[in-house]
Amino acid sequence: MNNRREFVKKGVVGLMAGSLVSVPESFARPLKEKKEDLFKLAMAGYSFVHFNLDQSLVMMKKTDVHYLCIKDFHLPYASTAEQITAFHEKLKESGVTGYAVGPIYAKSPKEIDNSFDYAKRVGVKLIVGIPSHEDLPYVAQKVKETGIRYAIHIHGPGDKLYPNAVTVYNLIKDLDPGLGICFDMGHDTRYGNDAIADLEKYQKRIFDIHLKNVTAATKEGTTCELGRGVIDIPLFVKTLRKIKYSGMCSLEYEKDMKDPLAGIAESVGYYKGVCQAS
Amino acid sequence: MNNRREFVKKGVVGLMAGSLVSVPESFARPLKEKKEDLFKLAMAGYSFVHFNLDQSLVMMKKTDVHYLCIKDFHLPYASTAEQITAFHEKLKESGVTGYAVGPIYAKSPKEIDNSFDYAKRVGVKLIVGIPSHEDLPYVAQKVKETGIRYAIHIHGPGDKLYPNAVTVYNLIKDLDPGLGICFDMGHDTRYGNDAIADLEKYQKRIFDIHLKNVTAATKEGTTCELGRGVIDIPLFVKTLRKIKYSGMCSLEYEKDMKDPLAGIAESVGYYKGVCQAS
């Protein structure tokens, strides 16, 4: 769209300069202004579980996505400062910014310490994590101490810790407001919940979103291309705008994971089409 | 979306049967009904110029597109009846229907005869072609005789015969109404015309569309992913609905032609996102 806007500008300049170049009607016609959305499209690192960083960045460049939630298989927890700098440099060369780390399992206060230490060294202000229930007050304390927010990942039916948004919300609602949810809309739906209603209901605690669609609103549902599932994505995007969501929509594409490019590209295209048309 | 609708139906049935299964609120909420569009998404065979039929059908299946404008490199003009039957069988196995043939250059009445003979043997009711100006009355006569419509392909700046929609329209407006335009929205735009205004203006004679976007509204503009160019696709789709266009939107993807799958997938996704959200 930007290109077109530039063309319009050039056309207007041409006319103002008294040029004889004719400007077709709709180029002069002002484009319906679309307010820049507060939320942004990102990739959840897990989508690239079978690919190294270089291969992943090629796919992100190809699909024009510029934010990444960093997984440890691309940047190991034990990375040195130099390795972390080199990692960020490589992302920058592809026009990509790492905005968070995770999901990271943390089964003890020690592992929680490690998560925060890692996030601090990587230089991000958000961790997506899976702590034990009993450690939640400790996570809250770390959030307060570090200023790094912590989003608990939900994982659908079968997950004993955090199957859906309401489970997480009930556990954190009285804890530090920097403790929130990584809202996996696919898993929430697979649990049988209404992801769009939950997005609105728990908006204040939703810090990150795993953007995806699923084939069925049951345990048997699996990830599919964003426009081909049971979740009404146009309504979801409308709701993101309604609640003024200002985080990332991190595409987690879990179909054809060894050959995901076409599905990722279709999903990115679908998301952009929905955003631009609605 | 269909899946979701089915889920809604199941939910309602569950309730009617007095089941205790709880149906989340928005699943019961009636989806905003979207009238089935009169137009359909297709692929222009030329997008697959570097691929044989099997490879092309794999890409169509992957991107869930079900109509194809047939190019001779997939079905040679000299094909026998048996070869044509086998071709259609192969398409059918992939859920694809060949809806037209072309573009076909036809530089003489003899070549025009050949085009119509080919279309008749293939069993389609539409030819996309490029005849000589002086043969247009003969094409019109053939259209009348055969009941096969003929859409003249426009090819942008540099093309001496049919650079844009207005050129074709002026040449055919007084000829048989079965003689029309294959509206290549990219080439029309590259010529400097307003493709959306032209779509509306020449709607009665637009029988086929080469769906695409371009990087600039000049001769230098090249095909890009559908959501990344200068043409306002949401407005284009709105106009298709306004004029009740009932033909195909045949994606002609001319970028990365030796490795087009990601770009095709992104474009298909974008188109579907726009259609579903607007």
pTM for the model: 0.89
The answer, yes or no, to whether ipTM is higher than 0.90 is no
pLDDT of B52 higher than 90: yes
Tell me how far apart the alpha carbons of residues A82 and A84 are, in angstroms, rounded to a whole number.
Answer: 5
Judge: B194–A229 Cβ closer than 8 Å, yes or no. Answer: no
CB pair distance less than 8 Å for A267 and B269: yes
In a domain, A104, yes or no: yes
Confidence check: pLDDT of A232 > 70: yes
Specify if A61 maps to a domain.
yes
Contact A274 B274 (CB under 8 A): yes
CB-count burial class (<10 Å; 0-12, 13-18, 19+) for B81: exposed
Distance from CA of B182 to the nearest CA of A (A): 21
Percent of chain B's residues with pLDDT above 70? 87
Interhelix angle B261-277/A261-277, nearest 10 degrees: 30
Query: Which chain B residues are closer than 8 Å to A271 by Cβ?
Result: 269, 273
Across the interface, whether the CB atoms of B216 and A272 are under 8 A apart is answered no
**Using omega within 30 degrees of 0 as the cis cutoff, is the peptide bond preceding B103 cis?**
yes
Q: Which of B177, B268, B211, B191 is nearest to A269 (CA)?
A: B268
Whether B14 is in a domain gets the answer no
A30 to chain B nearest CA, in Å? Answer: 12
Q: How many domains does chain A have?
A: 1
Question: What's the rounded mean pLDDT across residues B122-141?
Answer: 98
Residue A13: pLDDT over 90: no
Which residue is listed with tokens 């697979």?
Answer: A190
pLDDT in tens, A46-57: 999 999 999 999
**Mean pLDDT score, A141-151:** 98
Percent of chain B with pLDDT over 90: 87
Asked if residue A108 is part of any domain, the answer here is: yes
Specify if B189 maps to a domain.
Answer: yes
Q: Which residues contact A76 (CB under 8 A, 6 or more apart)?
A: A83
Question: What residues of chain B lie within 8 A of the CB of A242, using their CB?
Answer: none
SS3 assignment for chain B: CHHHHHHHHHHHHHHHCCCCCCCCHHHHCCCCCCCCCCCEEEEEHHHHCCCCHHHHHHHHHHHCCCEEEECCCCCCCCCCHHHHHHHHHHHHHCCCEEEEEEEEEECCHHHHHHHHHHHHHHCCCEEEEEECHHHHHHHHHHHHHHCCEEEEECCCCCCCCCCCHHHHHHHHCCCCCCEEEEEEHHHHHHCCCCHHHHHHHCHHHEEEEEECEECCCCCCCCEECHHHCCCCHHHHHHHHHHCCCCCEEEECCCCCCCCCHHHHHHHHHHHHHHHHHC
Rounded-to-integer distance, Cα B122 and Cα B138, Å: 21
pLDDT recorded at residue B36: 83
What pLDDT digit, counting tens, does each position of A15-44 carry?
333 333 344 444 434 444 456 899 999 999
The maximal CA–CA distance of chain A, rounded, in angstroms, is: 74
- Pairs across A and B, CB distance < 8 A: 155
Rounded Cα distance, A42 and B35, in Å: 32
pLDDT at B27 over 60: no
Q: Residue A256's closest chain B neighbor by CA?
A: B62
Q: What is the mean pLDDT of residues B10-34?
A: 40
Cβ atoms of A190 and A218 closer than 8 Å: yes
The whole-number pLDDT of residue B34 equals 56
**Partner-chain contact A277 B272, CB within 8 Å:** no
Write out chain A residues lying below 8 Å of B230, CB-based: 3-4, 7
B167: distance to nearest CA of chain A, Å? 16
The arithmetic mean of pLDDT across residues B41-66, rounded, is 98
Residue-wise pLDDT for B220-274, tens only, equals 999 999 999 999 999 999 999 999 999 999 999 999 999 999 999 999 999 999 9
Report the pLDDT value the prediction gives residue A17, as an integer from 0 to 100.
33
A183, B60, B69, B210 from B272: Cα distances, Å: 25, 15, 19, 16
Cβ contact, residue pair A227, B7, below 8 Å: no
A220 — pLDDT class (breaks 50, 70, 90):
very high
- Evaluate whether residue A242 is within a structural domain: yes
Which tops the pLDDT comparison, B26 or A46? A46
- Name the residue of chain B whose CA is nearest to A191's CA: B24
pLDDT at residue B30 tops 80: no
Asked whether residue A25 is assigned to any structural domain, the reply reads: no
Structural tokens at position B146: 């055969």
The pLDDT of residue B135:
98
- Interface contact flag, A64 B196, Cβ < 8 Å: no
Pick B268's closest partner by Cβ from A64, A196, A266. A266
pLDDT above 60: residue A182: yes
Name the residue range of residue A232's domain: 34-277
A77, burial (CB in 10 Å: exposed 0-12, middle 13-18, buried 19+): middle
pLDDT surpasses 90 at B23: no
A93, A68 contact by CB (below 8 A):
no
Residue A111, SS3 per DSSP: helix
What the block records as the tokens of B102 is 């072309």
Region B17-44: what's the mean pLDDT? 60
| Rounded average pLDDT over A208-232 | 97
* Mean pLDDT (chain B, rounded): 90
Got the DSSP string for A118-172?
Answer: HHHHHT-SEEEEEE-GGGHHHHHHHHHHH--EEEEEP--TT-SS--SHHHHHHHH
DSSP string, A208-274: EEEE-EES-SSTT--EE-GGGSSS-HHHHHHHHHHTT--SEEEE---SSTTS-HHHHHHHHHHHHHH
What per-residue confidence (pLDDT) applies to A46? Answer: 98
The overall average pLDDT reported for chain A is 90
Q: What residues have CB less than 8 Å from A245, skipping those under 6 apart?
A: A38, A39, A199, A203, A206, A209
Examine residue A109 and state whether it is found in any structural domain, yes or no.
Answer: yes
Which CATH number is B52's domain given?
Answer: 3.20.20.150
- Considering only the beta carbons, identify the residue of B197, B237, B262 that sits closest to A62: B262
Average pLDDT of span B110-125: 98
- Give, in order, the Cα–Cα distances in Å from A18 to each of A13, A14, A26, B102, B193: 9, 7, 19, 43, 20
Q: Which residues contact A152 (CB under 8 A, 6 or more apart)?
A: A128, A129, A130, A131, A162, A168, A171, A172, A179, A180, A181, A182
